[in-house]
């Protein structure tokens, strides 16, 4: 029996690489904000209890969200780095959960094209060491020589994957790992890195090439095209209601 779970969506970034007038999670994607589209992926899933959104200090955009007053959407103020935001979300969640053993999903607000099929894969995947969505690389992979744009070597691409989100770990174990990494000065750019730091070997669950992280200006054009494709092929999540949630909250 799969335990329904909570989702933390880090959405407190400033979107520097996007070079937009607002944080990129509030840019429009096919008529809705990127963040609203991302929330919709989860809020309509029967195995999702609720969503915690980590927003930036002084975020003036959130009140315009279509999910602003939804009963299963809660917010908290994020931190300086993505890992800080996730830590704060995990602490917020510990006040809601009746057990720290519950798994939690962490998903970037900047990944609005996750399909229901991929979400089902990670939600239903069972692993004692957590799991992440990821994709095997398709190109040949080069390692650069120190800080020079010179090729040092070619990596064996048969064993190289690109991490995506959602990433799924027990709430307390993840918080402990992030806190330890921070305490030891070990910068981490995803939840999995923190779990590896404390010796875990999480499962790699097949993601999808359409699950892009909208990061650079051109990514928005790519996301628009992918959204149209996913909509036409009915691969996006259903928007059905989710009245049959049974969760502790
Ligand atoms: N302090 C931060 C930094 C990032 N994020 C979130 O983490 C996700 C992935 O981060 P990234 O793509 O790097 O977003 P930004 O940090 O906004 O982008 P940039 O690095 O270009 O500023 C995004 O949904 C972003 O909002 C966050 O919650 N808190
Ligand atoms: C979590 C992540 O999306 C996995 O690929 C990635 O590490 C986020 O990196 P960012 O620099 O915070 O966008």
What proportion of the chain, given as a percentage, has pLDDT over 70?
94
For residue 57, what pLDDT is reported? 96
Q: Which CATH number fits domain 5-232: 3.40.1180.10, 3.10.20.30, 3.90.550.10, 3.40.50.300?
A: 3.90.550.10
pLDDT band at 245 (very low <50, low <70, confident <90, very high): low
Cα of 246 vs centre of ligand 1, distance in Å, is 31
Rounded to whole angstroms, the Cα distance separating 43 from 211 reads: 18
Of the listed ligands, the closest to the CA of 85 is: 1
pLDDT band at 97 (very low <50, low <70, confident <90, very high): confident
The number of CA neighbours under 13 Å toward the Cβ of 199 is: 0
Rounded to whole angstroms, the Cα distance separating 90 from 244 reads: 25
For residue 236, what pLDDT is reported? 82
Contact present, 5 and 102 (Cβ < 8 Å) = yes
Q: Mutation test of ligand 1: which of 51, 110, 112 has the most ligand atoms closer than 8 Å to its C-beta?
A: 110
ipTM of the complex: 0.98
Of the listed ligands, the closest to the CA of 216 is: 1
Per-residue model confidence as pLDDT tens digits over 15-71:
999 999 999 999 999 999 999 999 999 998 999 999 999 999 999 999 999 999 999
- Per DSSP, what are the bridge partners of residue 75? 53
For residue 238, what pLDDT is reported? 45
Q: Which residues line ligand 2 (CB under 6 A)?
A: 82, 108, 163-165, 189-190, 213
Q: Enumerate the domain spans of the chain.
A: 5-232
For residue 244, what pLDDT is reported? 55
Rounded to whole angstroms, the Cα distance separating 119 from 125 reads: 10
Cα of 190 vs centre of ligand 2, distance in Å, is 6
Cα of 189 vs centre of ligand 2, distance in Å, is 6
| Average pLDDT estimate for 145-153 | 95
Cα of 77 vs centre of ligand 1, distance in Å, is 13
| Average pLDDT estimate for 61-88 | 98
């Amino acid at each position: 029996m799969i335990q329904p779970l909570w989702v933390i969506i880090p959405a407190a970034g400033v979107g520097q690489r996007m070079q937009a007038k607002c944080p990129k999670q509030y840019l429009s994607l096919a008529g809705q904000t990127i963040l609203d589209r991302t929330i919709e992926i989860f809020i309509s899933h029967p195995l999702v209890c609720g969503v915690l959104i980590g927003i930036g200090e002084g975020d003036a955009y959130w009140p315009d969200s279509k999910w602003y007053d939804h009963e299963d959407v809660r917010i908290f103020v994020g931190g300086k780095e993505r890992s800080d935001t996730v830590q704060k979300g995990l602490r917020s969640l510990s006040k809601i959960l009746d057990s720290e053993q519950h798994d939690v999903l962490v998903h970037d607000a900047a990944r609005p094209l996750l399909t229901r099929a991929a979400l089902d894969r990670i939600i239903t995947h069972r692993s004692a060491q957590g799991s992440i969505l990821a994709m095997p690389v398709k190109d040949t992979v080069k390692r650069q020589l120190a800080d020079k744009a010179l090729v040092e070597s070619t990596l064996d691409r048969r064993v190289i994957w690109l991490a995506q989100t959602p990433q799924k770990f027990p709430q307390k174990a993840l918080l402990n790992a992030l806190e330890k990494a921070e305490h030891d000065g070990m910068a981490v750019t995803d939840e999995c890195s923190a779990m590896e730091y404390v010796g875990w070997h999480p499962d790699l669950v097949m993601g999808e090439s359409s699950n892009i992280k909208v990061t650079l200006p051109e990514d928005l054009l790519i996301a628009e095209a992918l959204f149209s494709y996913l909509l036409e092929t009915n691969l996006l999540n259903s928007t059905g209601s989710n009245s049959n949630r049974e969760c502790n909250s």
